[in-house]
Amino acid sequence: MKPKNTKDREVSHEQTLQKAQRYGIKYIDLKIDFAFKFVFGTQGKEDLLLMLIDSILPDKHIVSVKLGPQEQMPDNPEKRRSIYDIHCTTENGTNITVEMQCAKQSDFNNRMVYYSSYTLRNSLKRSKKGFEYPELYVIGILDFLLPGVKVNPEVVNHYSLRNDRDDGIMLTDTLHYVTIELPKFNKDIEELDSPLDNMLFLFRNLGEMKEIPAYFKDKNLDRLFETTMFANMTPELQDRYFREFMYEMDQKSRIRTAHEDGITEGEAKAMEKTAKAMKAKHYDISEIIEITGLTEEQINNL
């Protein structure tokens, strides 16, 4: 229920501040959907979006980005519309869609293809050479391991349309899918050695930081830290962020409860298979526990 008057809003906001203080919130968690869009998908913050994209695609040497519409409507009104977290174009016309997905989705790979279909349809042009469309990147930043794809140790994976028998032959060099699986990123701060490392470390840890580590003082990230400081947000934005923060907390609590109450035999076997693969790749035991929900004893017995 929405507050009915200014006094009620003030009381509600005061409660938000008190609860946020109890949870020790100083910086917002970039994995939370609202925070991600607020920091990287808001007009006037294109510099932060450029910093993110350039860290993921450094070889593209992108110098500017322009935010585009986040909603794409279907040709047929009976079909589903598509809403992106962030959609932008670069100075040379490259289309880039970025999705932050915290909750595990078993069909996320198909969703990435679905997102690309809207952009392709809307950017397709006829030329003397035939049909052409600008280069397109769909980037998924995931707080889970991508289901349905062979487990590998790489945090960032690039996919494109290639010949099944000779992956050196590309069907097209204009369509690209990039996945970033945050649970695989387990570097300590002294191990960071690139802008992407810096960004991924902040995705994983910013929401729990109480102060800026000395390492980041000279990394040109002052604007990002200033933007993500909870105290710098307006009361309305603070209230909205905290609602989404509590929702994510509830979701994680329900997941833990589901594991405590027991999972199906099929799910258990799938988790054990994932845990074995992660052990083979020398993941930290804490990472395996977080991803699979298995206990340390269960993992050690695999």
Q: How many folded domains does the chain comprise?
A: 3
pLDDT score recorded for residue 190:
96
Specify whether 120 is located in the same domain as 174: yes
Specify whether 18 is located in the same domain as 60: no
pLDDT score recorded for residue 257:
64
Specify whether 66 is located in the same domain as 152: yes
Kindly state whether residue 151 falls inside one of the protein's structural domains.
yes
Kindly state whether residue 154 falls inside one of the protein's structural domains.
yes
Specify whether 20 is located in the same domain as 33: no
Kindly state whether residue 258 falls inside one of the protein's structural domains.
no
What is the distance between the alpha carbons of residues 156 and 178, in angstroms, rounded to a whole number? 7
Q: Are 74 and 98 in contact (CB under 8 A)?
A: no
pLDDT score recorded for residue 265:
57
Say which residues have a Cβ less than 8 Å from residue 150's Cβ, sequence separation at least 6. none
Specify whether 63 is located in the same domain as 92: yes
Specify whether 9 is located in the same domain as 89: no
Specify whether 155 is located in the same domain as 284: no
pLDDT per residue, tens digit, the chain (302 aa), is 444 555 555 568 999 999 999 999 999 999 999 999 999 999 999 999 999 999 999 999 999 999 987 765 555 544 444 567 899 999 999 999 999 998 888 889 999 998 898 888 888 887 777 788 899 999 999 999 998 788 888 999 999 999 999 988 999 999 999 999 999 999 999 999 999 999 999 999 999 999 999 999 999 999 999 999 999 999 999 999 999 999 888 877 776 666 555 555 556 677 787 888 888 877 778 778 877 777 777 888 78
pLDDT score recorded for residue 224:
98
Specify whether 19 is located in the same domain as 68: no
Q: Are 94 and 64 in contact (CB under 8 A)?
A: no
Kindly state whether residue 256 falls inside one of the protein's structural domains.
no
pLDDT score recorded for residue 259:
58
Specify whether 65 is located in the same domain as 97: yes
For residue 58, what are the CA distances in angstroms to 51, 54, 154, 176, 232?
A: 10, 5, 17, 15, 30
pLDDT score recorded for residue 253:
73
Specify whether 210 is located in the same domain as 273: no
Kindly state whether residue 138 falls inside one of the protein's structural domains.
yes
Among 93, 85, 92, residue whose Cα is nearest residue 52? 85
pLDDT score recorded for residue 1:
45
Kindly state whether residue 216 falls inside one of the protein's structural domains.
yes
Kindly state whether residue 254 falls inside one of the protein's structural domains.
no
Say which residues have a Cβ less than 8 Å from residue 214's Cβ, sequence separation at least 6. none
Buried b (16+ CB within 10 A) or exposed e, 139-163: bbbbbbbbeeeebeeebbeeeeeee
Specify whether 242 is located in the same domain as 273: no
Kindly state whether residue 257 falls inside one of the protein's structural domains.
no
Q: Is the pTM of this model over 0.85?
A: no
CA angle 137, 141, 144 (to 5 degrees): 135
In terms of residue numbers, what domain contains 78?
Answer: 27-228
Q: Are 230 and 24 in contact (CB under 8 A)?
A: no
Instruction: Return phi, psi of residue 174, to 5°.
Output: -110, -5
Specify whether 11 is located in the same domain as 75: no
